[in-house]
Structure 1
Amino acid sequence: MTDTGDEPRLLRAAFEAAAVPLCVLDGAGVVRFATSLWRQDAPGASAYRPGAGFNYLTSLKHLADAGIAHARLLHDGIAAVLAGRTPRFRLEHPGPDGDRRQVTEASRLLEGSAVITHLDVTSMHAAEMRYRRLMQRYRAVTTDGRVGVWELDPARRRMNVDSSLLTLLGYPANGERDWSEWRARIHPDDVAAVDALWGTCAANGSPDAQGPRIGPLEIRIADTRGGYRTFDCVGVVVRDGQGAVVTVHGTLYDVTERRAAQEAMLRSNRHLQELAARLARFEEAGEQQD
């Protein structure tokens, strides 16, 4: 480890053992020593990771003067730690090449010094961005597509339903409820089918069981407006290595308007059939009179 002072070997060894790019600044912002990982990633007087004897705050100020916005934030945050105004400072920012993401963290040590770490979080940042995009698509589908996600824990007899479905039904978005509460909201004509489904979900199977898959099953659930909404229910039973049920999860797709349109069409067809039958009888009666 490179250093410009006579720091105890135990302290230097402890910092080296951290296995991260790390340096220690004195109260003026000068790098007193740096770990080997710090030196590997920033040899010499790199503006981002200046070597021992260089002033880190001065390097950051030069970067800020060159138009790098986050360098000013780093400078001010680290200066605040060295001055004792805050015990810790943390900032995620672009790396030197612009394609990677880093986290710089400063933590105050004794006698006005501070330890600085740089961590590459590019993969973590990319994963977070993918997760955010996934959640955006999920919200778009569940909100605009009238789809709700549910999860059932048969052992605890608890059911968790996402907020979009609860909003659609008019219930408060408090998620998990006892299964008996949801069963009480099922249309009486659909309860028997749901009870049979519960037995299937709660039954243990063989370790290699992949199912059974649930549905599609059409069920009606009471809303807070005094009516029922109709859903297509599908799902899958998840088991552990011994075949015991771990969880059951799936989706509920709101088909209320589609079902109402289908029933209206059926009524219209029946009406037309009745009219056709009456017309046929009139024609038959007329022919008999002739």
Structure 2
Amino acid sequence: MPLIRWLLNVEPLWNTPEEFNEALNHLPLPTHENILKYHQPNDRKLALGSQLLQHLIVCRYRHIPFRDVRIVKHFGGITGGRPVFIGNDDDGVEGLEYNVSHHGSVVGIISRLLPPKDCGDGEDGGDEGGGVGVDVLEYEKRPHYVEGTLEGVREWAGGFEEAQVFTGREMGVIYAAAAGLSGEDEEGKKVEGVVKAVHLNWVVKEAYVKAVGTGLVTDLTAVEFGLVGVAGRVEAGERVDDVEVWIGTGEKRRAGEWYFEVERVVKEGLEGGYCLAVVTRAEGLEDGDKRGEWEWLEYGGDILPFI
């Protein structure tokens, strides 16, 4: 099955109330609350872009009219669970699994065009996970609340270890990102190195959690990524798909049943680019599926024609 990879930059879109409301009204009414609950204009635009991509991928690959697509938000009976398209057995329409992420001004969606899996129902149900996860982050930009000094970003990074998100080994890679950098604006380069390393570690871990299924990963340190040397390869424009991953507490095992990739994507007007991670089950994944590129969609040319 091919991996569908789409990106949408919402920064130039829907910057007047009239434009925003016109786009919003293309979506089913039940989705409006999930978009309008955000107060900041950029957050609303990201939520709108996310809903448009979710409906578009079902429309295009399950041949459902855009306005008739109905997304189930809490699949598996878990509040906060991933949204999926269930399909209709009566009409012979197969469901569709996908995963979506957004940050900055970019929304990303990925799908293997497989139906969702559910290992339970209702409140007692479980979420098996559909085997695909994605995460996107602005690569170089540190959070606004983090002081732009080496001490400040190291303290920020250390908070992930204290919160039991990153392991000691992962923190070693993050701190090492500042070592050996010298020359003009030495501290600025080291600050940037730590920020990039945190973001790379975060996107791969978050994508894995989303692929496995909400609620199934309760100990983030039980998933450990070996990202030594990955930053340099990512910045050189390479898609890194040989990330080392170990799973388990105590003695860890190599996670060979999962396929991991991380890369940096750039687009004119998006300073610094974005780092993206994809995690999916290795079973049934062909080499050709892995080589697919991220496709930047345009609202006018790629979305509106299907509405």
- For normalisation by structure 1, the TM-score amounts to 0.26
Which has more strand, going by share of residues?
Answer: 1
Which has more helix, going by share of residues?
Answer: 1
Q: Max radius of gyration: which structure?
A: 1
- For normalisation by structure 2, the TM-score amounts to 0.25
